[in-house]
Amino acid sequence: MRVLGFTTVVLALVAFVCAAGNVIELTDKTFQSLVLKGGKPTLVEFYATWCGHCKNLAPVFEELADNFSSKKDQIQIAKIDGDKYRSVAKKYDIKGFPMLKLFDGKSAEAEDYVGGRNLEGFTQFIVDKTGITPKKPKAVPSDVVMLKDTTFEDVVLKSDAGVLVAFTASWCGHCKKMAPAYETLANVFKNDKDVVIAKMDATDPASKQTPPQYGVGSYPTIKWFAKGAKDAPVEYEQGRSVEDFVAYVNQQAGTHRRPDGSLDASAGLIPKLDALAAKFVEAVREGALDDAHAILTDAKVAAGLTTAGVKEAEYYIKVFEKVLADGEGYLVKESLRLGSILKKGTLAKAKADDFAVRKNILMAFRDGAQRIRDEL
């Protein structure tokens, strides 16, 4: 019975510790065995469930534990609810939350942590006191432009692009939660010269002057600095999913991205040329070549006057000329070819964008002509 009882307790303890991630959740009983007699240094956070500062600290403390997870045999990162286990809190003179103490693992002695409540401060404290260094995580390439006070003007205010800026704080749980979607957003728009996705950490000493200038008082605060209206940024107040962010940037910047980074079916289209394209295809189909040549002339004039991208306008004219030479079948053959290549997903992003725009233009010729037939 003793063996069975002991095994049950050990399994329960292991399950409990694992469920908490890399931060060990302590009780009054496990505090004694894991911290005081564990044989290795332990940084312990005394917290309370109702404490707002504790909630803000939680994601930072989790990241600290993650960074030291490869050194679990040398050091522990743990926390205990000091409001629930008051006897432990009282023993260590805990009078407020959160409070952090470093235990040596061999005695009841502890050293108070008195630095800043950020990842850098906690890490340096552990290194200084124990000599144990975290395994540096592999740097993940980011398409988010990190801003500082010295770069804000050039990147945001003097840029010809619209810039979405997220003002964040290293201790902010909501900022941490939003980060993956924001990274994806930056990747979605990295090929769009008219859009920049940026971030400024307001807790960075090199980035503390700018946020107050724009009324930033909570985190994350996200603002859109529109091209041509940089002095009057608009606060972003929508959802924080990739879909929400992408829809908002498309609306503000006039871009045509999908959440997966591809272009939507309207990307690259020029309405004035679409209308001429529909009439042109019908004229060619009916053998009215004089009308077709006249429409082509009008299209060249319209292409020269359009405010849309020159590259797109040039492709419209190329399609007009190919249809005139090869007939309506060219539209079907070429759009199927491009669609087949795009479906493979092997193209570089810039090339995929180019092919997607071409396919959209070809479909504008085909769909426009079909609409005319449907109306007859």
Active-site residues, by number, are 51, 54, 172, 175
Q: 55 Cβ partners below 8 Å, 6+ apart?
A: 173
Cα 250 to Cα 189: distance, rounded to the nearest angstrom: 10
Cα 10 to Cα 342: distance, rounded to the nearest angstrom: 55
Sheet holding 229-235, edge to edge: 145-146, 195-201, 162-168, 221-226, 229-235
Instruction: Return contacts of 83-91, CB within 8 angstroms, 24+ apart.
Output: 83/48, 83/49, 83/50, 84/49, 85/26, 85/27, 85/28, 85/31, 87/28, 88/28, 88/31, 88/46, 89/46
Determine the residue type at 262.
S
Cα 315 to its chain centre, rounded Å, is 33
Dihedrals phi, psi of 28, to nearest 5 degrees:
-65, -30
Helix (H) or strand (E) holding 26: strand 24-26
Structure tokens at 190: 């990295």
